[in-house]
């Protein structure tokens, strides 16, 4: 599994939270990237997941292309408080993902920092709306899940969706590192 998106949008925090079921006190910056392995339990089963936490900055664009070869699922992430990161899904990450994968590889669109929807200090007009995200997900043929790593909102739902999406794709491809 690979997680894609711009820097600073919460990709690493999301992966740590999925594995530990709690928000980390410290979230390390991803310098480069490499495979990490975690055992996750959901839907009453245990899964060994190998994921690539990618760095979204430009110097890593070429290196990031190498992770697409054998992935079984991708999570395309944007932060709901960054319309720029949302636009980059369409103009960079989705296209890069589709061009560099072979055959059908399932993917999910994820909005991070969902707790900001209820933050009264945030101007809601600056946020990517759920409707915008859901319409884009429909356009590219996937599901949209909005999460908050900070308050654990929809973390289990996201992992359930990952498992269901991957299981559904098993008929077409069998090389995902979710076991």
Q: Is residue 126 in some structural domain? A: yes
Backbone angles phi, psi at 140, to 5 degrees: -95, 5
Q: Is residue 175 in some structural domain? A: no
Task: Identify the pLDDT of residue 143.
Answer: 93
- What are 53-65's pLDDT values in tens digits? 776 667 667 777 7
Q: Is residue 10 in some structural domain? A: yes
Residue 179: is its pLDDT beyond 50? no
Task: Identify the pLDDT of residue 36.
Answer: 66
172 vs 167, higher pLDDT: 167
172 vs 108, higher pLDDT: 108
Which stretch of DSSP H or E encloses residue 50?
A: strand 45-53
Q: Is residue 179 in some structural domain? A: no
Q: 98 is in which domain, residue-wise? A: 2-169
Task: Report d(CA 129, CA 132) in Å as an integer.
Answer: 5
Q: Is residue 34 in some structural domain? A: yes
Q: In what order do the strands lie in the sheet with 143-146?
A: 35-42, 45-53, 2-4, 74-79, 107-112, 143-146
- Label residue 66 by pLDDT band (50, 70, 90): confident
- Label residue 42 by pLDDT band (50, 70, 90): low
At 102, which CATH number?
3.40.50.300
Task: Identify the pLDDT of residue 178.
Answer: 46
Count of domains in the chain?
A: 1
Q: Is residue 83 in some structural domain? A: yes
- Label residue 145 by pLDDT band (50, 70, 90): very high
Task: Identify the pLDDT of residue 141.
Answer: 94
Considering the chain, what percentage of its residues have pLDDT values greater than 70? 82
pTM: 0.86
Q: What is the dihedral of CA 100, 106, 111, 114, to 10 degrees?
A: -150
Q: Is residue 33 in some structural domain? A: yes
Q: Is residue 174 in some structural domain? A: no
- What are 18-28's pLDDT values in tens digits? 877 888 887 77
């Amino acid at each position: 599994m690979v997680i894609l998106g711009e820097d600073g949008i919460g990709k690493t925090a999301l992966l740590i939270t999925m594995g530990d079921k709690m928000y980390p006190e410290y979230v390390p910056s991803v310098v480069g990237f490499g495979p990490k392995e975690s055992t996750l339990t959901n839907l009453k089963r245990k899964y060994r997941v190998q994921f690539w936490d990618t760095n979204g900055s430009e110097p890593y664009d070429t290196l990031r292309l190498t992770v697409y070869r054998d992935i079984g699922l991708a999570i395309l992430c944007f932060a709901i408080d960054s319309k720029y990161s949302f636009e980059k899904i369409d103009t960079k990450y989705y296209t890069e993902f589709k061009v560099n994968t072979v055959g059908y590889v399932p993917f999910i669109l994820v909005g991070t920092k969902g707790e900001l929807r209820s933050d009264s200090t945030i101007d809601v007009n600056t946020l990517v709306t759920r409707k915008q995200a859901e319409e884009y997900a429909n356009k590219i043929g996937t599901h949209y899940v909005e999460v908050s790593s900070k308050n654990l909102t929809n973390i289990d739902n996201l992992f359930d969706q990952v498992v269901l999406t991957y299981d559904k794709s098993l008929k077409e491809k069998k090389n995902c590192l979710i076991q």
